Amino acid sequence: MRVVALCGMGFGTSLMLKMFIGEILEAHGVKAEVHAWDLGSFKGQDADIVVAPTDMKKHLEGYQGRVVLIGNLTDRQEIEEKLLPVVREFLDAQP
């Protein structure tokens, strides 16, 4: 599974989000590649799950993968509550 933490600039916010995502997935025994990208670098890339701030919703419309939008990027609980159901759904859909 490939997960991308996305932000507008691709520096602090996406790196912090990547760290939270990695910790959450590890705590739940989920193995995944987690990457931090800015929006410009993400165009044309593939990911199974994209985690991004809610203000990026417009930029992700039409994206074929699963998208998790987060309101407060420093709220680990919100990230976990929104991410885990999507991860489980993805894993359940795998052959």
> Which residues lie below 8 Å from residue 59, measured CB to CB, with a gap of 6+?
39
Domain 2-92: assigned CATH number: 3.40.50.2300
In 37-52, which positions are buried (b, 16+ CB within 10 angstroms) versus exposed (e)?
A: bebeebeeeebbbbbb
Comparison of pLDDT for 29 and 40, the residue scoring more: 29
Please tell me the predicted confidence (pLDDT) of residue 63. Answer: 87
Whether the pLDDT of residue 10 is over 70: the answer is no
The domain limits of the chain are 2-92
Tokens 């670098």 identify what position?
Answer: 41
| Per-residue pLDDT tens digits for 32-78 | 999 999 888 888 788 999 999 999 999 998 888 899 999 998 899 99
